[in-house]
Structure 1
Amino acid sequence: MITRDTHAFLDFARGCATDFGPATARAAFLVAPDGFALAEQSAQDNRYMAQAATFDPASASSQHRELHRAFSGVLPTVCFAGSPDTPDALFPNNVFGTAAGRYVVGRMRHAVRQREAARDDIRGFFAGVLDYAEVDLSTQAHPCELTGALVIDRARGLGFCGLSERCDEEGARLMHEAFGLRATLLFDLAPGEYHTNVVLAVLAGRAAIVCPQGFADAAVVEAIASLYAPHVVSCSPAEHAAFVGNAISLSADTVWMSAHAGRTLTEANRERLRVAGFTVATVELDAIEAGGGSLRCCVGEIY
């Protein structure tokens, strides 16, 4: 099922068992912020990006290395080199994604990011080292920026796809099929939002962080909240702006977010996460956040 009908989606989703696959990834991959700089094309539709003068490549590299060390204490984490030709490559989850036995290559909107999809080393890692089958969406015409646009509940096989200039309806359908999902809910993001994973996180299949202002239709927020109630964190505008929604669970008991997000997270919402079984772990990423994304954007998941 792939639909805009929240009622039909909920009727179906509530009947889905948590047997689709592991709720969290078995490994992760990163791409180093080598050549980290303002990508003018990406800045056209990413309001979270800072001005060029505020980019600090040395700090971004140091913080990214600390992120790698932190994740390596939780699950196997590999890091590929970056390139000055691809200044946004440190956000690889938009370009490469995985499901059981296969990897998916997304179609990026901007040419500066389309270059990332051509990397032989990352493709070779998935195809040659992991022996995953390839699903290549990068050469078709419809933007589909993978787990930037599509937030996935891996336990139940459910997708939540926000439509914007970074993903249209046909792109959403292609991703739904590529990841083999049971059901995907389509909805419009609010004007000015570019990726769903900035305004929504599904944590280990049992909780959700939602930024209501990021959705064009409040009914979609209500539907998602009802599916994960009572374990729902509803972000304030300040939490939204601080990337609290750009979080990820890499294990059953921890939610990761940037240090800025963690400092902004209210005690009430931290308690909601605790009740859902999660502690909050953070890494300082303010230099990386200048690039318009935060912690979850840096993580490629391997299932």
Structure 2
Amino acid sequence: MQQITNTILMVRPVNFRMNEETAINNYFQENISKENKAINALAQEEFDAFVKKLQDVGVKVIVVSDSLENDTPDSIFPNNWVSFHENGNVGVYPMFAENRRLERREDVLETLEAEGFLINNIIDYTSAEDEGVFLEGTGSIVLDRANGKAYCALSARADEELFIEFCEDFEYSPIIFTAYQTIENQRKPIYHTNVMMCLAETFAVICLSCIDDKKERKAVVKSLKENKKEIIDITEAQVEQFAGNMLQVKGANNKRYLVMSAAAHKALTVSQTKTIEKHCTILSSSLSTIETCGGGSARCMMAEVFLPKVN
């Protein structure tokens, strides 16, 4: 199994703003004192510049535009509702916020099929929403595809039983823990695993101090070391700058890039940057409006496409 891909699906926003329904447990979101129309225009500018940077280095980006039919302020983060796998399977996931459920669109899958990708099987977990149970795609789950492992920090958006069911269906070994951040002197679960952890081919960027339970922390470190991943440990302050929300991709001539926001890049220390650059090139883009209002960053915006091509 490949760990990284050169093909990314991204959704261009039409109605981006701070989503009041997700702000309940996404402590990264903040209000900006601008009109929604202005916020959306800024988000579109950031989105377009980001897409161009990816395309300029040879990453294949399939851009789908959001539609004005539904009120979907977070549609820019498609990796939460869908995941694409090498065997042609597609996972469709139950979402915590009701207005995020409207992001799931069949025509997105049809777009990929029109691009020549093969979808064999759709594994749909969305009925779990009726039970108030959620698992938000590769936001909740960080996959080590090459080694058949799935990492999940439990939260209101990542249910343990459903995660285990996902692992059985997609044949991954589960690694379960809880990751916290300090909010007004209280330890609260981080809403998505991919905010504090990124898995690349030969290294992992992770905030180990977010994992309060020593046994859980040890188990995560042991698992990463078993697979010979160099561990780049980041701080909670760096997590707040989205330095955990990164994705490794392939560009032209199979060149490797670690994609992140400008804020994440700036938050890295010289030594962390050097360690990453031993493995691959850093590619960063300014996403400040998207990060501030959306509470998500570069990783959240990219749904990796691993589907096989039709012969």
Q: Structure 2 length as normaliser, TM-score? A: 0.84
Matched, 1:149 2:132: no
Distance 1:218 1:270 in 2: 27
Q: Which residue type is aligned with residue 268 of structure 2?
A: L
Q: How many residues align?
A: 279
Structure 2 residue corresponding to 1:122, chosen from 93, 103, 108: 108
Unaligned runs of 5+ in 2: 181-187, 307-311
3-state SS, counterpart of residue 25 of structure 2: coil
Matched, 1:136 2:120: no
- Corresponding residue of 2:176: 186
Deviation, 1:131, is 3.0
Structure 1 residue corresponding to 2:301, chosen from 286, 298, 301: 298
Distance 2:27 2:206 in 1: 19
Are 1:98 and 1:179, in contact at CA under 8 Å, matched by a contact in 2? no
Are 2:210 and 2:236, in contact at CA under 8 Å, matched by a contact in 1? no
- Corresponding residue of 1:66: 49
3-state SS, counterpart of residue 232 of structure 2: strand
Distance 2:229 2:61 in 1: 32
Deviation, 1:137, is 1.2
Structure 2 residue corresponding to 1:176, chosen from 167, 192, 200: 167
Deviation, 1:52, is 4.9
* CA separation of 1:274 and 1:224: change in aligned 2, threshold 3 A: farther
Alignment of 1:214-225 (within 5 A): 214-225=210-221
Distance 2:127 2:140 in 1: 18
Are 1:163 and 1:188, in contact at CA under 8 Å, matched by a contact in 2? yes
3-state SS, counterpart of residue 53 of structure 1: coil
3-state SS, counterpart of residue 40 of structure 1: coil
Distance 1:219 1:27 in 2: 37
Give the CA RMSD over aligned residues. 1.9
Matched, 1:42 2:30: no
- Corresponding residue of 2:152: 161
Deviation, 1:34, is 1.3
Distance 1:178 1:124 in 2: 23
Q: Which residue type is aligned with residue 224 of structure 1?
A: V
- Corresponding residue of 2:60: 76
3-state SS, counterpart of residue 126 of structure 2: coil
Distance 2:107 2:140 in 1: 24
Distance 2:220 2:148 in 1: 14
- Corresponding residue of 1:18: none
* CA separation of 1:268 and 1:243: change in aligned 2, threshold 3 A: same
Deviation, 1:230, is 6.4
Matched, 1:32 2:12: yes
Q: Which residue type is aligned with residue 4 of structure 2?
A: T
Distance 2:142 2:269 in 1: 23
Are 2:154 and 2:189, in contact at CA under 8 Å, matched by a contact in 1? no
Unaligned runs of 5+ in 1: 1-20
Deviation, 1:213, is 3.6
Deviation, 1:123, is 3.0
Distance 2:142 2:267 in 1: 23
Are 1:94 and 1:146, in contact at CA under 8 Å, matched by a contact in 2? yes
Deviation, 1:238, is 2.4
Deviation, 1:279, is 2.1
* CA separation of 1:116 and 1:178: change in aligned 2, threshold 3 A: farther
Once the two structures are overlaid, the 10-residue window that deviates more, 248-257 or 90-99, is 248-257
Deviation readout 1:232-261 (Å, 9 max, x if unpaired):
111123211111100110026321110111
Alignment of 1:243-282 (within 5 A): 243-251=242-250, 253-275=256-278, 277-282=279-284
* CA separation of 1:209 and 1:158: change in aligned 2, threshold 3 A: same
* CA separation of 1:236 and 1:109: change in aligned 2, threshold 3 A: same
Deviation, 1:222, is 3.3
Deviation readout 1:94-146 (Å, 9 max, x if unpaired):
001011211111111111111112x1211323466523021111123431101
Are 2:90 and 2:123, in contact at CA under 8 Å, matched by a contact in 1? yes
Q: Structure 1 length as normaliser, TM-score? A: 0.86
